[in-house]
Amino acid sequence: MAYPAHPRAKPRRHTGRSPLTAPLLLFAAAVLTAAVYVTYVLWPRWPDAPVGLDAPSLPIVIAGVAFNIEPAAIRIPLQRRAGTQERVDLAYLWPSLTPPNPALKVADGAPVNPNERLFVTVASGYGTLPIIERVQTIYPRYLVLEPATGPEGLTLRGFRDGTPYQGEELIFESEKPEHFLSRCSRQGVTNSGICLLERRVGNADVTFRFPRDWLSDWRSVAAGIDKLVAQLHPD
């Protein structure tokens, strides 16, 4: 009696994971992580409440440089917070270099007397040349040929008419220009011009704004600026 032959057993399929499984899972995890991060960054949040004017000095980082700044000196309320910022705008009483007293209000809406305040802006210096490099590479093409004598110890170089800086002068310490170098508007008929003096601290620019009349006592201005820089950015 013949028996039918046993059917040949079918080969069993390999059920192991595909070699592409692990990379696909990693890719999916990376995409999910990125989506969560973007959602967190873009999700609307209430801004941090500004710090009170009587709070201690705030640690503020601008362009990777740490500064210690009194809240009362910060002119814009939203900038009164610790952490990283693009810029801060400050004001100090002159010559005391103390923040304005918040309890004292300007009477009858009268404007602040500019001769009583030194205005300061701290901002990122990325993308801009330090002032000394600008004096060496950019300003010479716009300056008049002959310098003039300013207040004792200072030299003046005017900008030519028809240039981007017309109506201004470069005023600097004759013996040590890198210590005191400002760009000032010429004195008007009824009011003083304005001077801008910059200091580069790391990658941050600290710009001081004061009335041109102060140049009559520029050494006191230079000493005050040195003191304020040390106060804002202790070594």
In sequence order, which ranges of 182-217 are alpha helices (DSSP H)?
none
pLDDT tens for each residue of 61-90: 999 999 999 999 999 999 999 999 999 999
Query: Which amino acid does the sequence have at 100?
Result: P
Report the range of poorest mean pLDDT among 42-51, 57-66, 171-180.
Answer: 42-51
Transcribe 1-13 into DSSP letters: -PPPPPPPPPPPP
pLDDT of residue 107: 53
pLDDT of residue 55: 82
Of 101, 117, 128, nearest to 228 by C-alpha is 117
Look up tokens 């102060």; give the residue: 214
101: tokens are 């007293």
pLDDT of residue 54: 75
Alpha carbon distance 21, 17 (integer Å) = 7
pTM score over 0.85 = no
15: DSSP letter: -
